[in-house]
């Protein structure tokens, strides 16, 4: 059987590889309250790369897993979003998407519409809007976000979530504490709970 591959572009806590592997191999990431079942295929990503996406990352909602705002992607906004792309099978991508929506993994996704039209809203849920955001090495780059980024209420992330993203940005983009702080401070929603000095202290501690 041919294992069709796609890139999953992560822009939130999944920037940190160890945290992302919980979606494939199961487990509970540090600072989270949820244990993930993992994917049907627990194989590690075939590759991962740093990416920049056109658009904007913002913090919103109230996550029961993290206790505060989490990252969402607005493809229509101006700006640049830092991301990390993991090379997965289509089945693994489907299982990651299912767990993001607090569903049990096990059903494949039909990616025809998103590959043809660059967007496919599977439903009204928080991460049920699939987006085609590019191509890398001949494979499509996909991500998911809220279908309605305008109306989702902004909310500041908690310290564990900030720490996880900070580690992921260093791993994937090689950024230092000040560059990470500048990036996070500029994300809408962050200002509802953090100022730059507070974020710098948390980010610096997370990178030690």
Q: What is the rounded distance in angstroms from the CA atom of residue 5 to the CA atom of residue 133?
A: 15
Q: Residue 107 phi/psi, 5° resolution?
A: -115, 135
Give the residue-averaged pLDDT of 152-169.
98
Q: How many domains does the chain have?
A: 1
Q: Mean per-residue pLDDT for 15-26?
A: 98
Radius of gyration of the chain (CA): 16
- List of residues 6+ apart from 40 with CB closer than 8 A: 91, 92, 95, 105, 106
**pLDDT digits over 102-141, tens only?**
899 999 999 999 999 999 999 988 999 999 999 999 999 9
What integer pLDDT is reported at residue 3 of this predicted model? 64
Q: Tell me the pLDDT tens digit for each residue of 63-77.
A: 999 999 999 999 999
Domain with 189, as residue range(s), is 5-206
Q: What is the pLDDT of residue 4?
A: 87
CATH code of 28's domain: 3.10.490.10
Strand-pairing partners, residue 129, are 121, 145
pLDDT reported for residue 102: 86
The pTM of the full predicted model, rounded to 2 decimals, is 0.96
pLDDT of 76-97, one tens digit each? 999 999 999 999 999 999 999 9
Residues 98/75, Cβ–Cβ less than 8 Å: no
Q: Nearest-CA neighbor of 142 among 151, 132, 153, 152?
A: 132
Mean pLDDT score of the chain: 97
């Amino acid at each position: 059987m041919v294992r069709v591959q796609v890139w999953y572009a992560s822009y939130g806590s999944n920037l940190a590889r160890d945290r992302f592997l919980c979606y494939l191999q199961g487990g509970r990431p540090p600072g989270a309250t949820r244990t993930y079942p993992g994917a049907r295929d627990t194989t590690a990503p075939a590759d991962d790369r740093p990416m920049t996406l056109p658009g904007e990352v913002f913090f919103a909602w109230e996550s029961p897993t993290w206790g505060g705002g989490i990252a969402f992607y607005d493809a229509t906004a101006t700006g640049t979003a830092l991301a990390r792309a993991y090379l997965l099978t289509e089945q693994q991508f489907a299982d990651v998407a299912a767990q993001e929506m607090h569903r049990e993994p096990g059903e494949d996704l039909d990616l025809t519409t998103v590959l043809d039209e660059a967007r496919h809203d599977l439903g009204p849920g928080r991460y049920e809007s699939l987006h085609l955001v590019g191509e890398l090495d001949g494979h499509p780059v996909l991500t998911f976000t809220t279908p309605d980024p305008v109306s989702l209420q902004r909310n500041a992330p908690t310290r564990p979530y900030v720490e996880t993203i900070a580690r992921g940005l260093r791993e994937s983009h090689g950024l230092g504490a000040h560059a990470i702080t500048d990036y996070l401070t500029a994300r809408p929603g962050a200002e509802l709970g953090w100022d730059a000095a507070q974020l710098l202290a948390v980010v610096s501690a997370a990178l030690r």
